[in-house]
């Protein structure tokens, strides 16, 4: 296992303190008492196991339990592209989870499971906290996947080094979210840590730990978390079902449904349940070519509806007649593009 202990942030050597604790009985934490706070927060973190297993592709990540009980907030990633995603709670209970929705810009995802009559500890996003530079923080996650059963997740102590816009890249792809994040002087973004919680020293949620990324400015690993205020409304919309598409009623099915192929767009092969809707090919002379759509553009919205997969993308476009105009929003690196597509013969009429 290779950590990023050699990373340098703002010219300073990063120091990481890992607090290893045995399982402790429940108790009301005292203000400023790290042991009490860690007892309080660890049961709100889940271990997520799903797709992966290839070299450089871990099959695990972290998540946080949120209100209402039965919902988990995490990062969107290939780990969730599995027929079955398993959640393991702090006490070792295991549940199957299904995706509810994602936000492709912030790269967050909501999962749902059925806890039955069992009680679960949760974060209430409406009671989130905030921190200034220099604030002491605790990060909770399942880094390196070392917790697989009723082992408690890791707790790391650090401080907020900066609150600044995120300028990073991940391999050849850039991170799309451009808002402010908490940059932390502790190694909180190792494999498996993504989707964990950043909390203050009183156990109040500050943010969601992001995926591994390098700074474009310094080429060093970034240790960051998205502030709760940046995504709380999006989470509320996803949980409320406002991002979900209603089923296409047979009575309202178009006589000649439109397809992306009609517009000159060929998406990447739909190999898993939630394959991101990247453009694989653009047909010369097509409506897509005329509007400047390119290979590797990511389709994120169709007619105002968020898209989470190739399958959903095709279902959305098929709600239109072949003669209809379609508004499509794409991501190209950091650039958001909005285009209106229509078959040429319909435009000429």
With cut-offs at 50, 70 and 90, classify the pLDDT of residue 247. low
Contacts of residue 81, defined as CB under 8 A and 6 or more positions apart, other chains included, come to 50, 51, 272, 273, 274, 275
Q: Domain 250-348, what fold?
A: Pdz3 Domain (2.30.42)
User: Of the candidates 225, 61, 219, which has an alpha carbon nearest to the alpha carbon of residue 138?
Assistant: 225
User: For the chain, what is the total number of helices (H) and then of strands (E)?
Assistant: 5, 25
> How large is the greatest C-alpha to C-alpha distance in the chain, in angstroms?
74
pLDDT recorded at residue 292: 94
Residue with the larger pLDDT of the pair 173 and 97? 97
pLDDT band at 18 (very low <50, low <70, confident <90, very high): very low
pLDDT at position 19 is: 38
73-to-60, 124, 307 alpha-carbon distances in Å: 14, 11, 18
Residue 50 structure tokens: 């799903």
Is 27 a residue whose pLDDT tops 50? no
Q: What is the mean pLDDT of residues 138-149?
A: 91
Which residue is listed with tokens 């605790």?
Answer: 138
Distances (CA, A) of 203 to 38, 242, 270, 348: 7, 30, 41, 62
As a whole number of Å, the CA-based R_g of the chain is: 22
Position 42 scores a pLDDT of 95
The answer to whether domain 8-240 and domain 250-348 are alike in fold is no
Residues 6 or more apart whose CB falls under 8 angstroms from that of 301 comprise 307, 327, 328, 329
Residue indicated by tokens 């078959």:
343
Domain 8-240 maps to which CATH number in 3.40.50.620, 2.40.10.120, 3.40.50.150, 3.30.930.10? 2.40.10.120
Torsion of CA 9, 13, 14, 19, to 10 degrees: -170
Q: What is the dihedral of CA 54, 65, 104, 189, to 10 degrees?
A: -50
> Where in the chain are the domains?
8-240, 250-348
């Amino acid at each position: 296992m290779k950590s990023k202990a050699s990373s340098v942030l703002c010219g300073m050597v990063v120091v990481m303190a890992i607090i290893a604790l045995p399982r402790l009985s429940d108790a009301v934490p005292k203000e400023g008492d790290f042991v009490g706070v860690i007892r309080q927060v660890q049961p709100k973190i889940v271990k997520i196991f799903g797709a992966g297993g290839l070299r450089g592709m871990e099959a695990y990540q972290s998540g946080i339990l949120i209100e209402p009980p039965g919902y988990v907030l995490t990062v969107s990633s290939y780990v969730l592209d599995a027929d079955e995603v398993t959640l393991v709670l702090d006490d070792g209970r295991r549940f199957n989870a299904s995706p509810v929705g994602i936000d492709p810009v912030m790269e967050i995802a909501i999962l749902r499971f059925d806890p039955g009559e069992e009680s679960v500890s949760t974060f209430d996003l409406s009671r989130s906290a905030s921190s200034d530079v220099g604030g002491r923080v605790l990060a909770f996650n399942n880094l390196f996947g070392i917790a697989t059963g009723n082992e408690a997740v890791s707790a790391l102590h650090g401080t907020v080094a900066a609150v600044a816009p995120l300028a990073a890249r991940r391999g050849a792809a850039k991170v799309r979210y451009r808002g402010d994040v908490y940059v932390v002087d502790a190694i909180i973004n190792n494999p498996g840590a993504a989707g964990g919680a950043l909390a203050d020293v009183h156990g109040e949620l500050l943010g969601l730990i992001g995926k591994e990324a390098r700074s474009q400015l310094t080429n060093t690993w970034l240790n960051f978390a998205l502030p709760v205020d940046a995504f709380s409304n999006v989470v509320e919309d996803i949980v409320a079902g406002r991002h979900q598409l209603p089923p296409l009623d047979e009575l309202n099915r178009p006589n000649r449904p439109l397809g992306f192929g009609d517009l000159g767009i060929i998406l990447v092969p739909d190999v898993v349940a939630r394959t991101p809707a990247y453009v694989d090919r653009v047909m010369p002379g097509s409506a897509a070519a005329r509007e400047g759509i390119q290979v590797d553009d990511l389709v994120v919205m169709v007619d105002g509806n968020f898209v989470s997969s190739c399958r959903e993308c095709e279902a959305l476009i098929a709600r239109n007649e072949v003669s209809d105009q379609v508004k499509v929003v794409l991501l190209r690196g950091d650039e958001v593009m909005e285009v209106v597509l229509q078959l040429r013969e319909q435009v000429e009429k």
